Amino acid sequence: MARFDQLDKRFDKLVNILEEQNIELYNIKSTLKKHDEKLDEMGHTIKKIHNQTARLSIGQSELNMKLISLRIQAQKKTRKISTVCKIT
């Protein structure tokens, strides 16, 4: 009977250890889930920032094209004025 009691105590210890490990694994799983949610939020934020940056880049390119067009028009007007001044 003493042998049975020793085995029973060992199994009780093993059960306790497994229960503790189960609790630790649950805590780890909860922590990982929180991190996963934070990473999802960060991914969404990064995507929004990327889209805004892309829109700004497109707007900047359009603005540069307009500025170049205005410079060309200004140069043409300056040339016309200078040729008119030379003729008169």
In the chain, where the domains are located: 1-88
pLDDT for the residue 1:
73
Mean pLDDT value across residues 40-59: 94
Q: What is the pLDDT of residues 5-49, one digit of tens each?
A: 888 899 999 999 999 999 999 999 999 999 999 999 999 999 999
* Confidence check: pLDDT of 78 > 90: no
pLDDT for the residue 30:
98
pLDDT for the residue 39:
96
How far apart are alpha carbons 10 and 4 in whole angstroms? 10
**What are the structure tokens assigned to 38, written together?**
């934070």
Helix (H), strand (E), coil (C) string for the chain: CHHHHHHHHHHHHHHHHHHHHHHHHHHHHHHHHHHHHHHHHHHHHHHHHHHHHHHHHHHHHHHHHHHHHHHHHHHHHHHHHHHHHHHC
pLDDT for the residue 88:
59
pLDDT for the residue 15:
96
